[in-house]
Structure 1
Amino acid sequence: MINYPHLAQRLFNVPIAITPQKAEVVMAALADRFGIARLFRANGDAVALDGFGYDSEPAQDRAYEVVAGVAIIPVTGTLVQKLGTMRPYSGMTGYDGIRANLSMALEDKDVRAIVLDIDSPGGEVAGCFDLADAIFKARGTKPIWAILTESAFSAAYALASACDRIIVPRTGGTGSVGVICMHVDMSKALGAAGITVTLIHYGDRKTDGSDMQPLSKEALSRFQADVDAMGELFVKTVARNRKLSAAVVRGTQATTFLGAEGVEIGFADAVMAPDEAFRSLLAELG
């Protein structure tokens, strides 16, 4: 059973790298009881990895599939720091699982190359950039491609940008290099319900961001500073990974780019259907 209140704590009043549209979906999902309604579309099943049109080799003890010598690591749904599983689950993928799969695939003698099979709107900032750095540092060990099925936005794009190549389909997207922080003010709703909440605290800033009171100017300023710092880290990471100037990346202002537009801005390398991209990788491997 998913701990929705726990997820709410991880999504509100902290910087997250996720598309605004997905953030709005999360807000709507939590609206009924603030942590009770369904948060993600999910059935709990692991995501099947047959989208490239090849038969996979037996999984053995691997948590990833190996197709024609290529390890396929799924990066789907909302990205979270710790999921505790090496496969996507309940509409989420954990950075911990991606990192573990990447480490094993790099050491796997049967693996000649690695594909991150990405279709994600992004997710948590926590853990994202450390994983992006790990992917970037692994370049040169084995080819690492990001094949989008369909899109890599925000935190998912941070991971994709660290790969050797990014292939996007015509209807897929890249970008959203930005950070968002959501605050919910429940004070008026509680007052209308006849409920009075008194926050007893030590430390002037202890209650900053509490949903039981309006957001103060001081708290807003502090949260904005955190978001700005995370945003600059995002910009510099993508600029390094894609060999772009920080000014170019920053100038996108978290815009998303459809298909070929991403190639034009430098956020992707080619436009291909996923199966075509996979064949292209196999051709390069020989």
Structure 2
Amino acid sequence: MADSTQMGVRRFGRINWMGLYTLSEREVRRFLAVWTQTLAAPLVTAGLFLLIFNLAIGPRRGEVMGQPFIAFLAPGILMMTVIQNAFANTSSSIVIAKVQGNIVDTLMPPLSPLELVLGYIAGGVGRGVLVALAIGVGMLAFLGIGIQHPLWALIFVLLGSIMLGALGIVAAIFANKFDQMAAITNFIVTPLAFLSGTFYSIDSLPPIMQTLTHWNPIFYLIDGVRYGVLGVSDSSPWLGLVVCSAASIGLVVLCWYWFKRGYRLKA
């Protein structure tokens, strides 16, 4: 009988639960250690967005989709903040490790490519959910906005955190320097977030822009959370669930493949 401890044979079963938990805990502790930057700052930024838009546009804007403008805006701000923080958590963790040269400390332990992906994404999901809870409490306390469909809201917050957490891994693996990471954030992630119906209903857009918006998966995240919070949306939440699930699975598979190949990770 072959010795189970021979080189190349995992001694942890199909899943190294301890290793996966340890990596996930590290990623969560990493952002909790600087909570004023990772949790408090997004809450302040979301509040400023709501305040400025309400003061500048709210009194003249009227209702949007049958909702006061500030109520229409709040779920979009919440989701945009969630996805930005989920993306930032995974991307910053990996790109900093690459630049500092200590990514090997994560690659050497007996963790499979899938376990590495799930561990990093767990940190992004944790940060995204905590940000969503903080903003949600603020919406209820200061704006009186409750949640019409809590399950839908939770599903899309989780999907958004997973999708942008995986996209953050993809971006960080591809980038070798901080300026490359900044370029991806500024020219890809931010435009997709801002042009996703966060600040407007897509019914107000020209037909060509409506078509392009429907090809943006972040639109379905924003629209899905808006449905969960307010009960109104530009598209079916079921369509959004399918699109966001497919995009999330595709990104996770790409992350797994790149970790398996060691693409731009191993010298």
Q: Same fold (TM over 0.5)?
A: no
TM-score range relative to shorter protein: under 0.3
As a proportion of its length, which structure holds more helix?
2
As a proportion of its length, which structure holds more strand?
1
Higher RCO (C-alpha 8 Å, min separation 6): 2
Q: TM-score, normalised by structure 2?
A: 0.27
